[in-house]
Structure 1
Amino acid sequence: MSYTQRETPILAELCTFLVEDIYGELASRVFSVLARYGRQRRAEISKASYLSTAQISLGLVILTQQHLVFHSPSTEPAVFYDIDWQQSYALVRLAKVAHFVEERFDKKTANVVSNLRLFPPSNKEEGPTNGQKVNGTKVNGVANGHGDAHVLHASHGDQDEETFASPEELSAIVQTLMEHGWVIQVAEAQYLSAEDMHNIARQQALNDRWGGSVPTGTKDKDMLAHLIMENKRRIRDTWLEVPQFLSRKRKADDSDYGSNKRAKLNGGGQYGSIGGSTSSPEDDLVIRVNPEKAAVAMRNQHLVSLVEQRISDTTARLYEILLRSLEKNIPRCFEDFPDPPPPNIEDQPQWEPNLDYVVNTKDVAQRAKILGIDICNGLDPNAIARIAKNTNVGKDGVLSQPVDPSSLGFHERLEIVEAHFSLLADHPFRFVTWHARGQYRVDFDLIAKSLIQQEIENTVLARKSKTAMKLIRALKKKGKLDERQLCNTMMQSANDIRAIVNELTVQGFVQTQEVPKVDRREAKLSVHLIWFDIQRAREKLLHDTYKGQVRILQRMAFEREKIQELLSKASRTDVAGNETKYLKQDELDALKKWKEVQEKLLLQLAREDDLVAVLRDYCGPLTTA
């Protein structure tokens, strides 16, 4: 099973809140039944929910269109439904995905992604531009108690940055998003649960290799496990393929090429009619947003902010250029379907660096010059004086003459950029690693493990004490220790160590084990081992973070319920935009207070989501050495 598809009760409660907040009570009730009982048929959902058949069908349609539930293959006699936990939790990141796309492209492209994420997956002609701009707005047109939905289509004389001038422009945006991995094709396999996909990949491996029969030998079983993972990766990688987009330019012999004029049909179409019966293959292309790409962007943003805090702003900007250049070639943070490890340690393949994570210093220096970054900031003046000409360091430790970055030569710029990268390489987090002359690579897995360890230590320090944090570090470095060895390592008495170990054990950050020396169980004749399991501590902290998010959503619902009548009044079409005219002063004050409270709660929810990304999305399961 994929690491991101593991369900916990608190995650089920959190996702139920998110579904109810965005898609309404009906979808939430169907979702909650699947969350409580797991894989169910429609009749079983009806018995557990007390909803009518029509209501259940409508709820399942909403959840299926939004990729919030899986369903069994169409070849099965009975259709089973199960929850897609990765997509369900991704609802909390709707605004972040649009923000990332707007940073990398423009507002119009971000609007396309927002509509794709909130509206059902559809073809290129209808999906991203089906009438409403929903960036930050619910499907029903109400967001946070008041409606803000806009119609995308403007009049012919009122073109702005959010209106598509032609179908070719939309095709170009979709193609760009697909090339960068933000948008992928919709396939039937995406609606299959992890169990169904495993069964299909297994049966395909059996048919291709053994003619449908099950192997019995040990080597054949290992080969079967390898082929299953290979088939899963092949099925998944086909979703990222970018089709060949045909040009829509009018040719000389196209006598029946339809008009490109846009007509508003039924009041909502961006392109009501596209020139008669003319169509192209990309018009039937069904697309959706890639949730794994958002985790890659979040990881890059987190690393850049860390560099900015710990080194300098200029180094962070250069590091951002480096990460952005790698981002296009990184479809996901970690491999969901890795090959099973070999039974013998000697048979393990030798580790080789991934060349997709290697960047040339020359490319970063050229990009920094285009952006006009002052690369001399954030470095030691002595280092700059050794590289640049006609300057030296005075007695006060300041350059005698400021260095103009635009006047630097090519080789001087390279040396200064490499000086910044040396700061990144020398940092304990090892933000970059030297690969070859003029080349650096990023070991994302090692950085992700360091980030997880840092979050665990920060949590222990905030909840317990500095001694408890040092104990965590000692156990991580030394491995399993008994009480006497731990006391010698920590240089503290046994009574002090026992109190700290008991507290950390109750919290789930430290594990203990009693190993008897003799055949009877006595405290004096047993060895009490203590160790730190980073994966268990990671799961515990992730569980606590989910709890915090649930409390935030509960508080938001409570605050909204207190002024529900006022919010309903403010969302009316005649009141929206004219609040000062139709609302009293006390109502305006209450509405302003609600917006302030909501903003604080949403900010805290986003911070909790950043912690979830560090603990869950940046790397797969960890093993304690």
Structure 2
Amino acid sequence: MAQRLQELCALLVEDTCGYLCSQIFTTLAENGRLSRFQIQQHTHIPARQLRTALAVLAQLHLLHHYTGDEGLTFYSVDWRNSYYLTRSNRIISLAEDRYGEGAGKIMANLLQLGHARVGDLAQAFDFTTTKPNNEDDPCREHVNAEGGAKTNGAGANHVRKAPDTKINTVGQFHATLRKLLKAGLLTKVNKRIYTPAADLDAEIEEAVISDRFPDGKINGPRKQAEFKTAVNSLKRKWRDNDEFTDRDLESKGTIRRPGEPPGKRARVNGGLTNGAGHDDHIEENAPKLPNEMVLKVNYAQFVLAFRTDRLEQLAESYLGPVTAAVYGALLQALEGKVRARDGDIQADEGSDDEEDDLPVASTIEVADLLDPTVDLTLGIQGMSDTHQLPNGDTKGKKKAKVTDNESAGIKREHSDDESEHHPNGYISYESRNKRLNLVEDHLKLLEEHSKGFCKRVGGAGHGEWRVYFSALTDTLVQTTVDATILARFGRTHALLVRMLREKGRLAEKEIGALTLMRAKDVRSILTELQYAGIIEAQEVPKDTSRQPTRTLYLYFHDQKRVQSLLLQQTYQGMSRMLQRLKQERENYKNAIEKAEMMDVKQEELNSNERDAVMQWREVEEKLVIQIQRMDEQVALLRDYSGKDSSLVS
């Protein structure tokens, strides 16, 4: 485990679980896997307190443990989950934005408890028998469009959101859990989740050898390829068995409409006019999850969600908020087709290209996820004169004309007879077709951009689209590296690094000729960059004497090495921020403790204490924001590519 990552994770564990757990975590990180007796020898912690601390760390999934055939249990650190403690607030905020306030509360409870039974999670909610406000009038918020759309334009959240964000009933609680499970943000807990990856791989290999290679011989390239394929297949089978499916519901696998008696057909409209309020009826009568099912947060899936937000911001900087909203919906549609896990199965050697493993999403899926309040006519040339209502209708009788002042885009013309009124807020087939065409136009803009945000790969569902995340991630990393060099050293240094990245290895004279700089100035810049680890030099002797005067020095820029260097420096910066936060908390300790005492109101504090509390809150906010910004840097440099190198860098 890298030293700076170890220091950071130890501080996070101390802030979450206390000094005793941090001491155990540090011991395991420094010495590797140890038994409980060996941990006690290193830490000198009493046996009773040691057992309690190990139970707390295991409950929060900060430790792996494995019991061998001898019955001796060995413990090791889970560095990924330890680092993920920094993302608790971002995880809760993202769950609230996508699935409502109730989903955020579920995430907060699971982050605090590590894992919990469904029945225990339900106790955290105060369920009432009163109906939600929108049940008094089933047709409320369905006048203009789907999902209660009221206004046009790109809002803060561009993805369709549930109208009722709070959990008021048991049915809504189980419906929210099912949404989070199907999205992969929650996962079931089983015994294998505590097993270290090396022990799990050894167990799988042993099972494959005993089943398919009874003689124990896997020599030769053919048998080795067959063995590797069988190991990955068994590992995938185990993981698929651990995924949430409809078999996990209490319906025992029976398929029928919610609330329908066996052998009878449910009414078409659910007993309501035009089917309004049918979703609430489904939530209340849908099969419930078993109370004994144990759930935890799937941090790896949230990494994909954070990557979606980052790429949407990148698209917005180039193509505007509306096209970025469409791109965000595409990314979320692709995100829902991937089940991310820490340490995913690697692709088999000799398999198809990596492109074939990437998911695809159709234009229809993107339109269904897109917020209906987004005005898709913005950003498309020839559509700015026609105003689109949330339900897809257009208002205005002027035929669109192309002018020099309109933004560049795809030309589309709409006639005067496009303005129609559809009662009850339902979108007609023609209006839906117009909306799909607009979504497709925005996707074409993304495809034609030089960054290559997406690519059309099929024609089903108004077009199928794929995103090459590795290329986009490399672009983001390269931009971040250049911005860091520019901020630390200046424009000339950044220009020289970009030139070395494009040209490869260059000598000092060649660099001076290309940059039109004197050799003395070039030498000072190269020395400064080499000392900082941004560039490296390769010695090429001209003869066997290997004298410095008879040696040619070729300078080059290794972006992977610089990326690892920036990652380690970011770890160190986060550690210093946490230490500063702890020190500042000690400085305001008396005022904080008094403000947090039971039955003490803000008015009972004197002026000096109130000023101290306000100063502490301001300092804490600044430090926490800095930690979150550095965490975004870590996510970009380490997590978005899927090739985590923190243990070896």
TM range (shorter): 0.7 to 0.9
| Mapped partners of 1:39, 1:298: distance in 2 | 32
Instruction: Measure, in 1, the Cα distance between the counterparts of 2:200 and 2:7.
Output: 26
> Which of these residues, 38, 42, 52, is aligned with residue 58 of structure 1?
52
CA distance in 2, matches of 1:65, 1:591: 33
For residue 140 of structure 1, what is the aligned residue in structure 2?
none
CA distance in 1, matches of 2:615, 2:79: 34
Q: What does residue range 205-216 of structure 1 map to in structure 2 within 5 Å? A: 205-211=208-214, 213-216=216-219
Query: Quick one: which of 468, 478, 491 aligns to 1:453?
Result: 478
Instruction: Verify the 8 A CA contact 1:107 1:162 in the aligned structure 2.
Output: yes
2:317 matched to which residue of 1? 309
Deviations 1:286-342, CA, capped at 9 Å, x for gaps: 22110101101100111112222332111111112212222211222897331365x
SS class of match (1:540):
helix
Aligned to 1:477: 502
Partners of 2:244 and 2:302 in 1: CA distance: 18
1:260-279 superposed matches below 5 A: none
Supply the AA of the counterpart residue of 1:603: I
Range with greater deviation from structure 2 (52-61 or 209-218): 209-218
Q: Which amino acid aligns with 1:597?
A: V
Comparing 82-91 with 504-513, which one deviates more in the overlay? Answer: 504-513
Structure 2 equivalent of residue 426 of structure 1: 448
Q: Does structure 2 retain, via aligned residues, the 8 Å contact 1:516–1:522?
A: yes
CA contact (8 A) 2:118 2:289 kept: no
1:201 paired residue number: 204
Equivalents in 1 of 2:259, 2:384: separation in Å? Answer: 58
Q: 1:604 corresponds to which residue?
A: 626
CA contact (8 A) 1:334 1:618 kept: no
Distance 1:458 1:583, change over 3 A: same
SS at the partner of 2:554? strand
Q: Give the secondary-structure state (helix, strand or coil) at the position aligned to 1:455.
A: helix
- Residues 531-587 of structure 1 deviation map (CA, whole Å, 9 limit, x = unaligned): 322221111111111111111111111111011122112111111xx121x211111
Aligned equivalents of 2:211, 2:496: Cα separation in 1? 53
Of 359-368 and 25-34, the range deviating more from structure 2: 359-368
Amino acid at match of 2:633: L
Q: Secondary structure at the match of 2:538?
A: strand
| CA deviation profile, 1:36-92 (whole Å, cap 9, x unmatched) | 322222122112222111111111100011110111235453211111011001111
The code of the aligned residue for 1:505 comes to Q
Letter in 2 for 1:244: D
Q: Which amino acid aligns with 1:53?
A: A
Letter in 1 for 2:335: E
1:189 to 188, 192, 195: 192
Q: 1:337 to 1:615 in 2, by over 3 A?
A: same
- Greater displacement, 494-503 / 309-318: 494-503
Contact 1:535/1:622 (8 A) holds in 2: no
What residue in structure 2 maps to residue 19 of structure 1? Answer: 13
Q: Does 1:364 align with 2:337?
A: no
3-state SS, counterpart of residue 296 of structure 2: strand
Contact kept? 2:6, 2:29, Cα under 8 Å: yes
Matched, 1:245 2:242: no
Deviation at 1:420, TM superposition (A): 2.3
Q: Secondary structure at the match of 2:290?
A: helix
* 1:552 and 2:556 are equivalent in the alignment: no
Distance in 2, matches of 1:622 and 1:170, equals: 35
Given residue 241 of structure 2, which amino acid in structure 1 is its aligned partner?
A: T
Q: Distance in 2 between matches of 1:214 and 1:505?
A: 50
Instruction: Please identify, of 237-246 and 29-38, the stretch whose mean Cα deviation from structure 2 is larger.
Output: 237-246
Contact 1:334 1:619 in 2 (8 A): no
Partner of 2:297: 289
Instruction: Flag the 1:463–1:50 CA change in 2: closer, same or farther, 3 A.
Output: same
The residue number in structure 1 matching 2:602 is 579
Please give the alpha-carbon distance, in whole angstroms, between the structure 2 residues aligned to 1:38 and 1:424: 47
Matched, 1:440 2:465: yes
Secondary structure of 1:337's aligned partner = coil
Letter in 2 for 1:377: L
**Conservation of the 8 A alpha-carbon contact between 1:295 and 1:618:** yes
Contact 2:84–2:299, Cα closer than 8 Å, also in 1? yes
Residue in 1 that maps onto 2:566? 541
1:101 matches 2:95: yes
Rounded to whole Å, the distance in 2 between the matches of 1:64 and 1:459 is 38
Residue from 295, 319, 326 that aligns with 1:318: 326
Matches within 5 A, 1:133-148: none
Instruction: Report the identity percentage.
Output: 29
Verify: 1:153 aligned to 2:178, yes or no.
no
Please say if 1:532 is aligned against 2:557: yes
Task: Select between 470-479 and 565-574 the one with higher mean Cα deviation.
Answer: 470-479
Which deviates the most, 471-480 or 540-549? Answer: 471-480
Change (3 A) 1:355 1:218: closer
- TM-score, normalized by length of structure 1? 0.80
Q: Which residue of 1 aligns with 2:178?
A: 175
Answer yes or no: is the 8 Å Cα contact 1:178–1:184 preserved in 2.
yes
SS at match of 1:572: coil
Q: Let me know the Cα RMSD of the aligned residues.
A: 3.5
Q: Is the 8 A contact 1:333 1:617 kept in 2?
A: no
Query: Paired residue for 1:269?
Result: none
The whole-number CA distance in structure 2 between the counterparts of 1:551 and 1:450 is: 29
TM-score, structure 2 normalization? 0.77
What is the CA-CA distance between 1:456 and the residue it aligns to?
1.0
Q: Matches of 1:26 and 1:544 in 2, distance apart?
A: 27
Moved more, 610-619 or 225-234: 225-234
Q: Which deviates more from structure 2 when the two are superposed, residues 168-177 or residues 326-335?
A: 326-335
Secondary structure of the 1:390 match is coil
User: 593-602 or 190-199, which moves further after superposition?
Assistant: 190-199
Judge conservation of contact 2:381–2:402 (CA < 8 Å) in 1. no
Q: Is the contact made by 2:128 and 2:169 (CA closer than 8 Å) also made in structure 1?
A: no
SS at match of 1:508: coil
Work out whether residues 512 and 530 of structure 1, in 8 Å CA contact, stay in contact via their aligned partners in 2: yes
Distance 1:406 1:493 in 2: 68
Contact 2:101/2:166, CA 8 A, preserved across alignment: no
Could you list the runs of 5+ residues in structure 1 that have no partner in the other structure? Answer: 1-6, 132-151, 254-278, 342-346
1:280 CA drift (Å): 8.6
Distance of 1:390 and 1:380 partners within structure 2: 13
Distance 1:230 1:252 in 2: 41
The code of the aligned residue for 1:62 comes to: V
Give SS of 1:284's match. coil
Distance in 1, matches of 2:344 and 2:494, equals 31
Alpha-carbon distance in structure 2 between the residues aligned to 1:24 and 1:487 = 56
Distance 1:488 1:229 in 2: 53
| 2:377 is the counterpart of 1:376 | yes
Give the letter for the 2:126 counterpart. H
Query: Deviation of residue 164 (structure 1)?
Result: 5.5
SS at match of 1:371: coil
Gaps of 5+ in 2: 134-163, 253-257, 263-286, 389-393, 421-429
